[in-house]
A and B are shown apart, each in its own frame.
Chain A
Amino acid sequence: MIAVLALIAGVVAGILIEPTVPVYLQPYLPIAVVAALDAVFGGVRAKLDKVFDDKQFVVSFVSNVLVAAFIVFLGDKLGVGGQLSTGVVVVLGVRIFGNVAAIRRHLFKA
């Protein structure tokens, strides 16, 4: 419950504060979103599996975002930023799909 409220508080803060994203951070935004979604769905699934762990959740979010951003940064420097972004999105997307499928099985037993 607190978790959902915290998420909503973050969204409201983002809408109210209206931050401008610096240009050099803009390429990382989509990747950060996908990494954050992976962490969130992983956390929800773990909760339903009754193995949720606060520390594990925080570490998985931070490391997801950092590793994804680092890969994109490296790809930009090497001139293959687009392809590496695609790779990150594919790997995280597969995990999101798998976790959402597990959540669905938990909720609907189907």
Chain B
Amino acid sequence: MTTPPRDGLAPDFLSDLFRHPLDPGYADAAARRAEHGPRPPWRRRGAYGLKVLTLVAIGFLLAVAYRQAVKAEPEATRAHAGLVGEVKSAQTATDDLQNQSDQLRRQVSDAQAAALGADAAELRQLRQEEAATGLAPVTGPGAVVRLVDAPTPIDPNTGRQSDQPVNRVLDIDLQGVANALWASGAEAIAINGQRLSTLSTIRTAGSAILVDFRPVTSPYEVSAIGGPNMLGTFNHTPTAATMHSLVTRYGLSFATRSEDHLQLPAAPAPALLYARPEAPR
């Protein structure tokens, strides 16, 4: 093996690094030994002791680094599991509150019926208005519009699902479908079982779509109660045409079907803090 130039760095440092990976100090030390003879015994013994100490330190370092790497893995998993648990318990709490709200709503309507008498004209009008504004569950014939995200692209090299972004249904698509259904004569609409009222919002937060601040996920089913002509009218709206072009361009799926019997839940009642009904004139 040739000794690399000792006057600082070789002009081509990297190729020198590739050609002579061994520390040049070893060659130097060997040359010095050949020239001056071996070092005195006390220095040799000292260096030997240091070498043994260094090797102990290296072994220690390797063991510690291995333990550290093993320990870090379950920590990440634990954090993930904890977050999943938190999300699950928050969802359960929301469902419980939703059930409680439904129950209270039933109590209110029972109390109204008791106060007004079971077949008073006021009660019937109240029920009618509640149904129209979305504050009471309704049933009737109608149609369902189904929107699904494009399938996850498959990586052609690995055959697994690739990390490329999926073409998703956007909040604006759901807004457009809901508006087109209203325009086609729908009387009540729900998205994945979330009834829309006059104050409902459909918007994106992160990668989720929130309807009235409750997340809905693909497949999205927009159920609408309306007359027999509603679906035909809807299919001729510009929104339906746009959805069809999204299907051909981005691989989303979009389908409509009629339903004889749809059951839509009530929308959450808006809490009016400042608005007061006008006094009858």
Provide the A22-46 mask, 1 if CB < 8 A to any CB of B, else 0.
Answer: 0000100110110010011010011
Given contacts A6-B56, A94-B18, are A11 and B26 in contact (CB under 8 A)?
no
Question: Is the Cβ of B59 less than 8 Å from the Cβ of A54?
Answer: no
Nearest CB of chain A from residue B268's CB, rounded to whole Å: 46
Question: Is the Cβ of A46 less than 8 Å from the Cβ of B63?
Answer: no
Question: Is the Cβ of A36 less than 8 Å from the Cβ of B61?
Answer: yes
Which chain A residues lie closer than 8 Å to B90 at the CB level?
A: none
- A15 to B26, alpha carbons, bound, how many Å? 32
Q: Which residue of A lies closest to B24 (CB)?
A: A56
Provide the B62-106 mask, 1 if CB < 8 A to any CB of A, else 0.
Answer: 111101100000000000000000000000000000000000000
Given contacts A26-B68, A55-B47, A57-B51, are A10 and B63 in contact (CB under 8 A)?
yes
Which chain B residues lie closer than 8 Å to A14 at the CB level?
A: 59-64, 67
Q: Which of A50-76 contact B (CB under 8 A)?
A: 50-62
Which chain A residues lie closer than 8 Å to B59 at the CB level?
A: 6-14
**Does B52 make an interface contact (CB < 8 A)?**
yes
Q: Is the interface of B mostly helix, strand, loop or mixed?
A: helix
Question: Is the Cβ of B30 less than 8 Å from the Cβ of A53?
Answer: yes
Question: Is the Cβ of A94 less than 8 Å from the Cβ of B21?
Answer: yes
- A98 to B24, alpha carbons, bound, how many Å? 13
**Does A2 make an interface contact (CB < 8 A)?**
yes
Q: Give the size range of A's interface with the partner.
A: 35 or more
Provide the B211-236 mask, 1 if CB < 8 A to any CB of A, else 0.
Answer: 00000000000000000000000000
Which chain B residues lie closer than 8 Å to A29 at the CB level?
A: 64-65, 68
Given contacts A14-B67, A29-B64, A102-B22, are A51 and B29 in contact (CB under 8 A)?
yes
Q: Which residue of B lies closest to A64 (CB)?
A: B23
Which chain B residues lie closer than 8 Å to A33 at the CB level?
A: 61-62, 65
- A42 to B23, alpha carbons, bound, how many Å? 7
- A51 to B25, alpha carbons, bound, how many Å? 10
Select which of A3, A61, A91 is within 8 A of B17 by beta carbon: A91
Which chain A residues lie closer than 8 Å to B23 at the CB level?
A: 42, 46, 56, 60
Which chain B residues lie closer than 8 Å to A13 at the CB level?
A: 56, 59-60, 63
**Does A21 make an interface contact (CB < 8 A)?**
yes
Question: Is the Cβ of A54 less than 8 Å from the Cβ of B48?
Answer: yes
21 chain-A/chain-B pairs, Cβ below 8 angstroms:
A3-B52, A7-B56, A10-B63, A11-B60, A11-B62, A13-B59, A13-B60, A14-B61, A14-B67, A15-B63, A18-B67, A19-B64, A21-B64, A32-B61, A33-B62, A40-B58, A45-B22, A51-B29, A51-B30, A94-B18, A98-B22
